[in-house]
Amino acid sequence: MSSKPQTLFDKLWASHRIGSAGDGADLIAIDRILLHERTGGVALKMLAETGHAVHAPSRVFAIMDHIVSYRADRAADDARSPGGEVFIRETRNMAQYAGIHLIDSNDPRQGIVHVIAPELGIAIPGASLVCPDSHTCSLGALGALAWGIGSSEAEHAMATGALRVNPPPQMRITIHGELPEGTGAKDLALHIIAQHGASGGKRCAVEYAGSTVENLSVEERLTLCNLAVEFSAFTAIIRPDDKVFEYVEGRPFSPAQEYAHRAAEQWMALETDEHAEFDYELSIDASQVVPLVSWGTSPAQSSAIHTPISQKADSRAMAYMGLEPGAPLAGLRIDGAFIGSCTNGRLSDLRSAAKILAGQKVASHVHAVCVPGSQQVKRQAEAEGLDIIFKSAGFEWGAPGCAMCFYAGGITFPPDARVISSTNRNFEGRQGPRVRTHLASPATVAASAVAGMIAQSESSKPEIDA
């Protein structure tokens, strides 16, 4: 046996490696499979059509989140896009037929798959998880090996309990320093992508490490890892620590009490050994992070709101966004504001927005919507009275799901609307035909909604020398 120092990723990989699958790939055991009605229903259907059974139904979870209506009084089948009911009904039927866990639209456990997987203890340290959804990388925040796949790979994982995967290269991003007041994990993630480009992750398994990361809460770590796919990473991962162990404890699908001690012992070993080697190393100074807002149609096209957009900026993106180079983002009139999604739809996100909205009103021309990431987040927020703050400020308060994070047909912001959004994708048409999406933190979205234009919260304004 060699005693070569191992990375956290190496350890996770080794503990799931069934064997070589030839041609450089490994056969990797899949512990838990998550599905949603948009891409999971079709995987269940293909599986049934080809006559394959689900290998371990008790480890597969179907969740309704993508096209469920976000109206507060939705019925179980209500979709937010015309014809969307078909996806909800068929996924429900197929899930029942396959005998897997079903978390239906109005189940008290329901929410966006990447929000509820940690909440329910489905995502735990040391587990391998896949979902036909690219933001599955979020779950690496708990020290899990989690990545997004395609629908037919989900079918594959269900039928065989394993997937054939090429071991990705590895990158460590070490972040030191304190995040300045008024900035958070979203700004940090956009900062990294803006600095190193949308391809900067080089298809690596990216380990986020360093004191800044250790100081982030579990929810903030989920936000940081969520954006890894926008950085072209295979996935992201963070060493699970006491915060995570505490977070995981007692959740419905977490290890039962009788195993808790053994599990904790194994999880403690999930860290990168000293002198372990990575294919790439980056280091980030968190004290340089400022509140960022995207100006273009890639998350990499983000800047501080008072910085004039470069004369050399991508002209296609600028045209789509209706911007002229040389002007800053600050002061641009907005038509819409959205707070929610798997990026920033958790309780801490809603709290940070509510802090800014308390006693304030959204500008009258702004259509503002807040959709909590899960039923649990919604219940907790309501228990704290956050819903009252959002509603009195003029925000719509919706029922949990992906909601306006992506357009699936149906009602959305009108063409050419300028929307500031706490989501993760600003691609052309992402929130509706010709809708112009500006990504930002929940705090920046809230401050902009009140101002009626792109703005940042008081606490994060740069100090101006007199």
Q: Residues 40 to 79: which contact another protein by CB under 8 A?
A: 41-42, 45-46, 50, 52, 56, 58-59
| Closest distance of CB 444 from another protein, Å | 23
Please name the residues in contact with 257: beta carbons below 8 A apart, sequence gap of 6 or more: none
Angle in degrees, CA 82, 83, 86, rounded to 5: 150
Q: Residues 332 to 361: which contact another protein by CB under 8 A?
A: none
Site string for ligand SF4, 337-366 (x = CB under 6 A): ----xx------------------------
Site string for another protein, 376-415 (x = CB under 8 A): ------------------------------xxxxx-----
H-run or E-run covering 61: strand 60-63
The site partner of 39 among another protein, ligand SF4, none (C-beta below 5 to 8 Å per kind) is another protein
Q: Which is nearer to ligand SF4, 305 or 399 (CB)?
A: 399
Please give the order of strands across the beta sheet that includes 101-103: 101-103, 60-63, 32-36, 128-131, 145-148
Q: Name which of 192, 275, 255, 184 is nearest 229 in CA terms.
A: 192
| Closest distance of CB 177 from another protein, Å | 30
H-run or E-run covering 260: helix 257-268
Burial class of residue 337 (count of CB atoms within 10 Å of its CB; 0-12, 13-18, 19+): buried
Burial class of residue 64 (count of CB atoms within 10 Å of its CB; 0-12, 13-18, 19+): buried
Q: Which is nearer to another protein, 263 or 453 (CB)?
A: 263
The site partner of 405 among ligand SF4, another protein, none (C-beta below 5 to 8 Å per kind) is ligand SF4
Q: Residues 393 to 412: which contact ligand SF4 by CB under 6 A?
A: 402, 405-406
Q: Are 438 and 426 in contact (CB under 8 A)?
A: yes
Task: Check the CA dihedral 265-253-248-239 and report its sign.
Answer: positive
Q: Residues 420 to 449: which contact ligand SF4 by CB under 6 A?
A: 423-424
Tokens coding 412: 């959305």
Out of 26, 133, 207, 220, the only residue in the binding site for ligand SF4 (CB under 6 A) is 133
The site partner of 81 among another protein, ligand SF4, none (C-beta below 5 to 8 Å per kind) is another protein
| Count of residues that interact with another protein, criterion CB under 8 A | 74
Q: Are 298 and 197 in contact (CB under 8 A)?
A: no
Angle in degrees, CA 48, 66, 80, rounded to 5: 115
21 belongs to the binding site for another protein (CB under 8 A):
yes
Q: Residues 164 to 203: which contact another protein by CB under 8 A?
A: 164, 166, 198-199, 203
Tokens coding 157: 């994982």
Q: Which stretch binds another protein (CB under 8 A): 217-225, 236-244, 250-258, 442-450?
A: 250-258
151 belongs to the binding site for another protein (CB under 8 A):
yes
3-state secondary structure of 461: coil
112 belongs to the binding site for ligand SF4 (CB under 6 A):
yes
Q: Which is nearer to another protein, 367 or 430 (CB)?
A: 430
Q: Which is nearer to ligand SF4, 423 or 448 (CB)?
A: 423
Angle in degrees, CA 196, 200, 201, rounded to 5: 135
Q: In one letter, which amino acid is 380? A: Q
150 belongs to the binding site for another protein (CB under 8 A):
yes
